[in-house]
């Protein structure tokens, strides 16, 4: 009996020691700062998340035009019954954006930037959006998911339903030499054939779009109201104080493809979303290359980008170093993401798990600041977006079912072994892109708006 008691006592002692060791290991794992080495290769340097700046595209909206417009005339079918007025955030977009905010809350709590049920003090967070309904609403729904027990004001600097100059991608500098240089840059995208080459590269996608929508059966298309999408020429228009724009088949096809993509997101029935046609995910990607190409031409062309993104680049630069601010959220449009990334010299990329391969709906361009054990700071730049499946299924996002994180890289900018950019290098990149605007007049002559009348 004594031996039995002694054995039980020894076993209990061993179990207590093991429990203590396991408890210590668990505590150390819980308290340890984030290690990029666990996820992104490299040497496994430990980092703590210190700050985040987000440039967001609004979430799902209704088409920009309503009944009686091009969209209502150019196809013989009835579109999805949108849950919002033209150009406004849809009900699905609101739900998706809230879920994205909830994911960011879980993520930032995990990384220690926010405590649970964080209620920020003055200046600790900032929300600022363009004055359009879809951008203001996106910021508010995201904030509801991110900070569910805090009241967060969303800045609106311009009159409601107008374009705030910070987010308005208009050409504020123009000259004859500049216009020619921009036209040349755009034409290069089509090779030796120029604009005709761009159109030729989209021909398969445009033919698919016409087939899916039965466009040629509409009375308006038969009458030639909107021209010939296969044969007409497209023209880019560059004017002082306006967005770069386009006339011709690429613009017309973009309007239809844009609406069709949002219909695909909104409808659970794949076949109904394609007006009775059977499309693969690759077909949907092909259709959206029309929109991707249009956006790239008008906002991603480098000489346009440094012009139209100038005020937003300055805003982002200020947020990266804003004293006392932990989290900044700026909300605009695909044109904003495209122009900012191009102006910064982003390396070419094609996004996975989405039919929108450059600036997906609701995408977040994130700049996250990480501090190592020695106090050194570096930044990680990513696009974070809901996959097409997550958008269509209204998937709940969590640390186990996150949105897509896609790291971005920039021409000529060095990264450490963990894929991060030194703080000085990131700020220098912003400064260079901002300075490129001021250099336009030196290179291409006096701004036409400021030049004396002839």
Q: What is the pLDDT, as a whole number, of residue 375?
A: 87
State the CB neighbour count (10 A cutoff) for residue 329.
25
Catalytic residue of the set 199, 334, 358, 418: 334
Query: pLDDT at residue 14 above 60?
Result: no
Q: What is the pLDDT, as a whole number, of residue 411?
A: 97
Of 311, 292, 310, nearest to 300 (Cα)?
Answer: 292
Question: Residues 379-396: pLDDT tens digits?
Answer: 999 999 999 999 999 999
Question: Residues 291-302: pLDDT tens digits?
Answer: 999 999 999 999
- Considering the domain 176-300, what is its CATH architecture? 3-Layer(aba) Sandwich (3.40)
Query: pLDDT at residue 26 above 70?
Result: no
Q: What is the pLDDT, as a whole number, of residue 45?
A: 67
pLDDT category of residue 27 using cuts at 50, 70 and 90: very low
What does residue 245 show for φ and ψ, rounded to 5 degrees? -135, 180
Q: What's the CA gap between 109 and 147, in Å, rounded?
A: 11
pLDDT category of residue 1 using cuts at 50, 70 and 90: very low
Q: What are the residues whose beta carbons fall under 8 Å from the beta carbon of 232, sequence distance 6 or more?
A: 248, 249
What number does CATH give the domain 46-72+89-171+305-444? Answer: 3.40.50.1240
Q: Give the domain ranges of the chain.
A: 46-72+89-171+305-444, 176-300
Question: Residues 402-454: pLDDT tens digits?
Answer: 999 999 999 999 999 999 999 999 999 999 999 999 999 999 999 887 655 43
Alpha-helix runs per DSSP H in 133-248: 133-146, 176-188, 195-201, 203-213, 219-222
Average pLDDT in the 246-257 region? Answer: 97
Give the dihedral sign, CA 441/445/448/453: positive
Query: pLDDT at residue 162 above 50?
Result: yes
Angle of CA points 431, 423, 350, to nearest 5°: 80
Q: What's the CA gap between 138 and 146, in Å, rounded?
A: 12
For the chain, what is the total number of helices (H) and then of strands (E)? 17, 11
Distances (CA, A) of 32 to 25, 27, 48: 10, 8, 9
For the ranges 66-75, 123-132, 346-355, 424-433, the lowest mean pLDDT is seen at: 66-75
Q: Is 334 a known active-site residue?
A: yes
SS3 183: helix
Query: pLDDT at residue 158 above 80?
Result: yes
Q: Which residue has the higher pLDDT, 340 or 70?
A: 340
* pLDDT above 90: percentage of residues in the chain: 85
Of 7, 48, 2, 56, nearest to 403 (Cα)?
Answer: 56
Q: What's the CA gap between 317 and 291, in Å, rounded?
A: 29
Average pLDDT in the 77-104 region? Answer: 96
**Fold identical between 46-72+89-171+305-444 and 176-300?**
yes
Distances (CA, A) of 430 to 344, 372, 452: 7, 23, 32
Q: What is the pLDDT, as a whole number, of residue 43?
A: 44
């Amino acid at each position: 009996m004594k031996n039995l008691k002694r054995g039980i006592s020894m076993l209990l002692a061993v179990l207590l020691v093991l429990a203590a060791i396991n408890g210590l290991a668990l505590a150390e794992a819980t308290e340890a700062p984030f290690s990029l080495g666990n996820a992104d290769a490299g040497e496994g340097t430990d980092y703590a998340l210190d700050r985040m700046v987000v440039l967001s595209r609004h979430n799902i909206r209704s088409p920009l035009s309503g009944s009686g417009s091009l969209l209502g005339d150019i196809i013989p079918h009835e579109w999805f019954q949108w849950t919002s007025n033209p150009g406004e955030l849809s009900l699905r977009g609101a739900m998706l954006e809230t879920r994205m905010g909830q994911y960011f809350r879980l993520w930032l709590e995990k990384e220690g930037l926010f405590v649970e049920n964080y209620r920020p003090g003055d200046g600790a967070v900032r929300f600022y959006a363009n004055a359009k309904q879809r951008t203001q609403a996106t910021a508010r729904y995201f904030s509801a998911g991110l900070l569910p027990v805090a009241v967060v004001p969303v800045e609106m600097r311009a009159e409601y339903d107008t374009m705030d100059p910070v987010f308005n991608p208009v050409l504020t500098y123009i000259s004859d030499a500049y216009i020619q240089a921009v036209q040349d840059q755009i034409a290069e995208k089509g090779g030796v054939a120029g604009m005709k080459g761009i159109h030729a590269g989209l021909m398969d996608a445009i033919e698919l779009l016409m087939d899916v929508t039965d466009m040629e059966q509409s009375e308006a298309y038969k009458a030639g109201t909107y021209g010939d999408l296969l044969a007409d020429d497209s023209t880019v228009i560059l004017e002082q104080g306006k967005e770069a724009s386009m006339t011709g088949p690429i613009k017309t096809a973009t309007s239809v493809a844009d609406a069709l993509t949002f219909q695909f997101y909104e409808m659970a029935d794949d076949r109904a979303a394609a007006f009775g046609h059977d499309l693969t995910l690759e077909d949907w990607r092909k259709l959206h290359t029309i929109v991707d190409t249009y956006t790239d031409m008008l906002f991603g062309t480098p000489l346009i980008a440094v012009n139209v993104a100038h005020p937003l680049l300055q805003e982002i630069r200020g947020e990266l170093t804003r004293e006392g601010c932990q989290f900044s959220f700026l909300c605009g449009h695909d044109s904003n993401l495209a122009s900012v990334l191009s102006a910064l010299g982003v390396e070419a990329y094609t996004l996975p798990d989405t039919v929108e391969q450059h600036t997906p709906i609701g995408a977040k361009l994130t700049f996250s600041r990480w501090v190592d054990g020695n106090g050194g700071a570096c930044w990680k730049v990513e696009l974070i977006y809901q996959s097409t499946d997550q958008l269509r299924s209204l998937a709940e996002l969590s640390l186990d079912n996150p949105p897509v994180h896609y790291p971005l890289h920039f021409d000529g900018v060095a990264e450490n072994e963990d894929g991060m950019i030194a703080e000085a290098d990131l700020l220098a990149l912003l400064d260079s892109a901002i300075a490129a605007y001021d250099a336009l007049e030196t290179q291409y002559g006096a701004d036409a708006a400021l030049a004396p009348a002839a």
